[in-house]
Structure 1
């Protein structure tokens, strides 16, 4: 027998049961928040399928056995579009996690039937939240039974999802494994606008900083130009001073040479005077000696 493809199966296993997805806006907002938040948690996992209000058929050939959880998560099922979740076409993999958001129309008998259904067909974690009466319940599988859990300190960390469910002041909050909260579209919109405003402020601050740096650069360049001019002037002054020093050294050298010549002339003059004085002294001695001998020096 030929195996039917999913499009053919969807004609046999209807994608709608004729019921509304949500009974009121509050219920719808919670369904959307959790479904889209789970999408974000598993955005990098191609093997995790998350759906909201999708009919789940757990038994082959039994279109009467079905339920549409407000949110279902099937880990191991490919992330692709579906008209319904037909379990035998998914390698007989049941959703491991389901979530129900209660509305005033939900009855205790209806919720008992859903608990029995999820217990029978392999759900491992079952979450129920009543956003009007602020009641939060968690069922986790223990062997073959979904057992109501005692939530320690009003928090529950899902072993399967890694998501933390927290009831503070009666309000349910969900946190991704990285600690970031699930946010609604409006919260994301406000957060994005805040981020854009901060980015614009950072851009304006950066622009002002760039202008300030450019002004500082102009001042530094002007100062560098002045310093360069002063260095140039200093070099010119130094060259002039060196030239003047060289000329002064030359003049001093010439003066020293003139002094040496004058000293040499003085030495020669002194020598001539000494010689003249010596000759005069010798002449006087000779005249004296001649007189002593009775000789008239003038007669000689």
Structure 2
């Protein structure tokens, strides 16, 4: 997003202030680069896929947050690059209008920095999210320099988050870690596993299916080989038995011939031992 001039902290809104209609369209400028767009889409896609069975949250990117009637008098404030609101209805919205959402502000905000927005994200927006939004978890990320930092609201003040051994920062609100993976921010489970996109899940399932099919084919081949080996062993055993039987028959036949010859010689009064 472009460098923005933040609104000055507004005075408490009087009870008789008339709020504008809540059906307000988002009024955000285009994202600054393709990389910014890919990063926003990636965060949105991963979280919605992970929480596909949940209906108690709202996540969006590059969407205006309307939080004060005074804000409508200024064109300078721009919404977060990515934010998540918990304990709310999961439905499509034109914008996030706080006074139409039971006063709820984002629980988590991520700003994707660029040279033109870094100062705003680090100072002005950080102050706005701390003091006005009271957003519990705030992160900023520079996809070009891979600068990444996060903060958690403690007693009304942002305290820096300490990275774990993998360099990830814990989001208490999401129950997930956020860290850099292949040059972009990704979500990680408490166990440190990468939260996949739907496409990555499909690819993983395809690979698992191919692996299962290859394993099954290998097992079939092993089974067939074992059968062939067993059949060969049976054939070898039968051949050995046949050979042994043939040798016994040959031996018996030779012995029988010898005995007949000896008997014939005795009939002729010839001593067989003299032959």
In structure 1, the partner of 2:59 is 50
Structure 1 unaligned spans of 5+: 1-7, 220-300
Q: Supply the distance in 2 between the matched residues of 1:137 and 1:64 (Cα, whole angstroms).
A: 32
User: How many aligned positions are there?
Assistant: 208
**TM-score, normalised relative to structure 2:** 0.62
Pair 1:112 & 2:126 matched: no
In structure 2, the partner of 1:59 is 68
Q: What is the deviation of 1:67? A: 3.2
Q: Residues 122-172 of structure 1, C-alpha deviation per residue, up to 9 Å, x if partnerless?
A: 211101111211111112112222233343543322222111234589875
- What is the 5 A alignment of 1:77-226? 77-109=88-120, 111-119=122-130, 120-151=132-163, 153=165, 154-166=167-179, 172-177=185-190, 179-184=192-197, 187-188=200-201, 190-205=203-218, 212=224
Given the superposition, is the C-alpha separation of residues 206 and 123 from structure 1 closer, same or farther in structure 2, using an over 3 Å criterion?
same
Q: Supply the distance in 1 between the matched residues of 2:219 and 2:73 (Cα, whole angstroms).
A: 64
Q: Supply the distance in 2 between the matched residues of 1:181 and 1:197 (Cα, whole angstroms).
A: 22
Tell whether the 8 Å contact from 2:177 to 2:190 is kept in structure 1 after alignment: yes
Q: What is the deviation of 1:38? A: 1.8
Q: Supply the distance in 2 between the matched residues of 1:59 and 1:36 (Cα, whole angstroms).
A: 29
- Specify which of 31, 39, 51 is matched with residue 30 of structure 1: 39
Q: What is the deviation of 1:37? A: 1.9
Structure with higher helix content: 1
**TM-score, normalised relative to structure 1:** 0.58
Deviating beyond 6 angstroms after TM superposition, the runs of 4 or more aligned structure 1 residues are: 168-171
Tell whether the 8 Å contact from 1:23 to 1:105 is kept in structure 2 after alignment: no
Q: Supply the distance in 2 between the matched residues of 1:117 and 1:30 (Cα, whole angstroms).
A: 23
Tell whether the 8 Å contact from 2:107 to 2:135 is kept in structure 1 after alignment: yes
Structure 2 unaligned spans of 5+: 1-20, 232-275
Mark the structure with the bigger radius of gyration: 1
Q: What is the deviation of 1:60? A: 4.7
